[in-house]
Amino acid sequence: MLKILAFSERKELLEELLSFLNERTEEIDIICKKGFDPSGFKIQNAYCFNQDLFDPWQAVDLVSNLFSNGYNYLFVGASTIGREIAALVSQKLGYPMETDVFDFQLVNGRPIVKRYYFGGKTVMTKETEAKIFTLLPGSTEVKKIGQKVYSIKEVELNGLPKTKLLGIEEKAKGSVDITKAQIIVSVGRGIGKREGIELARKLAEKLGGEIAGSRPICSDLHWLEEDRQVGLSGKKVRPKIYIALGISGQIQHIVGMRDSKIVIAINKDKNAPIFNEADYGIVGDIYAVVPLILEKLEG
């Protein structure tokens, strides 16, 4: 039976990892921060640490030593620090690794993985000798599939950090996690002016949804908080309804929303690539179309 060790310091990534792995094997042990609640997932042993993890070197020995105890594969949630830990463990143990996979199958005992390539334009399927994988965040829905008896063991992050923590400043955060939203109104550069965001916000509120945006809106112009950015370098979302207002549909945006159930696009350029992803498209100006929709919703 396939035996897998899974690690993430972040609750939501570990839940995704477990949902992904529970569909593939029964024998899973995890390394997690103390307090993680594994109920609902099939795991056997939880190795829990209670320190703040801010430097990958703190975890390298622990993860390498545990992984050397007869596991077939190590899966790590691809947070920034998770990717670094996976790379350092790979280098320490001399095992190849694959980053940011979103599918993993064993065919004739050999791993076949899928990952995005060329900034998400293509999907690469490859057979690999890797033993260590990072899982792309947002690749899978969290599914709790029943509980298994598991044991919790306390462990220490006993590696010496190579950096000194001088302070932590919270990033400006949106009020919600857009990955959980069922309806998203997403704003692109086509909105044209900061005040236009309010029109989109009004539509989101009317529909009981959340507002999100493309990279120019969130990371360049900062008209919305960065954690509302959808896409390759933002969040991967899969709402029931995704409404794209003035978003051109570049691939780096599409990889973040292509699993949405229904996509509605409003764009004044009939050739905008977003229409290739859309179930419903309106060729028109946001400032003409959205007020009409609001009028209907209010009437």
Q: What angle do CA 116, 122, 128 make, to 5 degrees?
A: 50
* Of 138 and 159, CB closest to ligand FAD: 138
* Buried-state track 73-86, b at ≥16 Cβ within 10 A, e below 16: bbbbbbbebbbbbb
In the complex, the smallest distance separating the C-beta of residue 242 from ligand FAD, rounded to whole angstroms, is: 13
* Of 209 and 234, CB closest to ligand FAD: 234
39: CB partners within 8 A, 6+ apart: 144, 147
* Of 44 and 252, CB closest to ligand FAD: 252
* Of 52 and 269, CB closest to ligand FAD: 269
Q: Which helix (H) or strand (E) holds 21?
A: helix 11-22
Q: Which helix (H) or strand (E) holds 19?
A: helix 11-22
In the complex, the smallest distance separating the C-beta of residue 2 from ligand FAD, rounded to whole angstroms, is: 33
Looking at the chain, how many residues does it have?
299
In the complex, the smallest distance separating the C-beta of residue 79 from ligand FAD, rounded to whole angstroms, is: 16
In the complex, the smallest distance separating the C-beta of residue 268 from ligand FAD, rounded to whole angstroms, is: 4
123 and 102 in contact (C-beta within 8 Å)?
Answer: no
226: CB partners within 8 A, 6+ apart: 171, 172, 218, 219, 234
In the complex, the smallest distance separating the C-beta of residue 206 from ligand FAD, rounded to whole angstroms, is: 19
Residues found near ligand FAD in the complex (CB under 6 A) = 119, 188-190, 192, 214-216, 229-234, 246-248, 250, 252-253, 256, 266-269, 272, 285-287
* Of 71 and 275, CB closest to ligand FAD: 275
